[in-house]
Amino acid sequence: MAAPLPRLEDLPDLDGARVLVRAELNAPLADGRVTDDLRITTTLPTVGWLRARGAAVVLAAHLGRPKGEVRPEFTLAPVAARLGELLGTDVPMAPSAIGGETTSMVASLDPGDVMLLENLRFHPGEEANDPAFATNLVAPFDLFVNEAFGASHRAHASIVGPPRALPSAAGLLLQREVEVLGGLLDAPEHPFVAILGGSKVSDKLGVIDALLTKCDTILVGGAMAFTFLAAQGYPIGDSLLEVDRIEDCRRLLATGRVEVPVDVVIAREIAADAEVRIVAAPSIPEGWKGLDVGPETAAHFADRIAPARTVLWNGPMGVFEVPPFASGTRAVAEAVVGCPGFTVIGGGDSAAAARQMGLADRIDHVSTGGGASLELLELGDLPGLEALRLGRDA
């Protein structure tokens, strides 16, 4: 792993400082209210740490994909409201991430105040990593904290720009993410078992190659498993297939450390009332698609996980949101929480599944960044982390 990140304790002159905190507040909304506040609550320890030392805290974040346009359905106003409820204080929201009114609002803050900027992605300069946008963004501030691990694999203006202009540090959550995920690569206890699922094997090829240098076993489920089955010459019916990745899957299977389903749950459609069958993995008929690992596979995977001293899980075993196809994911989740080792969920849908099943609080670390966690494991660094280390020398 790369050199250590600057910590909050390294920041100068916090008393009376105005601190820009890039947070990951991309929370799901319904009817103008936050329906899952995990990304908000995980930011609060850093906010509290800064406020306790006399800083005024201004949070900057994105929501959805407005593509550089002001779109009311992507306003962060519901997030500001939920922040206020959690903090027990008023959290005003600036009308824009930059501009004169925003600068005046920041200047008027007292020590301990908290404010939120409107959606960064309302400005095309954010995703374009426009230096002028970054300069305008940091202008009212004294210090910068990156607490957006889930966005730190993006070289966006609010991620990589502020450390070039301001004394900067990693937030408590980002620091923990890097320590835990880095530890999986630097010094994992063995046996080290990785469980990978999700839709596309192409999304996971890089991380599989990286994990094979550290892991004892990689268990593959989810829709990505069917490209591996096709690589073994098995018919996969109407299951998801990436034809251009078959040779990659053959190469990975040849290592002898990548294991795939031996039976699968199939249906003609993804529906709660669909006709469901359990078949051997080499026997998926035409017109049917694999939507979960079968019970024999789930039991085998659980046996592999049981003695593990390190476990990484990223990606569900099937379409867990639909009850007939949730059993495989539940079996894996229960095996992970029951094993004696250090357990990590790499964010994304597997984290959502663990929360849905009431098991997330029994996992040692649930990452807040699906794509970021995979990229860190694959490459050993992220643009946002590199920017923090380089700071104003960049």
Query: Known catalytic residues?
Result: 39, 200, 348, 371
Q: Return all residues near 27 (Cβ < 8 A) that are at least 6 apart.
A: 34, 35, 36, 37, 38, 39, 40, 63, 78, 79, 82
Neighbours of 134 (CB within 10 A): 23
Quick one: CA dihedral 240, 243, 246, 248, positive or negative?
A: negative
Annotate 157-194 with b (16+ C-beta within 10 A) or e (fewer): bbbbbbbbbbbbbbbbbbbbbbebbbbbbeebeebbbb
Crossing angle of helices 348-356 and 370-379, in 10° steps, is 130
Map the chain to HEC letters: CCCCCCCHHHCCCCCCCEEEEEECCCCCEECCEECCCHHHHCCHHHHHHHHHCCCEEEEECCCCCCCCCCCHHHCCHHHHHHHHHHHCCCCCECCCCCCHHHHHHHHCCCCCCEEECCCHHHCHHHHCCCHHHHHHHHCCCCEEEEECHHHCCCCCHHHHCHHHCCCEEECHHHHHHHHHHHHHHHCCCCCEEEEECCCCHHHCHHHHHHHHCCCCEEEECCCCHHHHHHHCCCCECCCCCCHHHHHHHHHHHCCCCEECCCEEEEECCCCCCCCEEEEEHHHECCCCEEEEECHHHHHHHHHHHCCCCEEEEECCCCCCCCHHHCHHHHHHHHHHHHCCCEEEECCHHHHHHHHHCCCHHHCCEECCCHHHHHHHHHHCCCHHHHHHHHHHHC
Structure tokens at 312: 């990484």
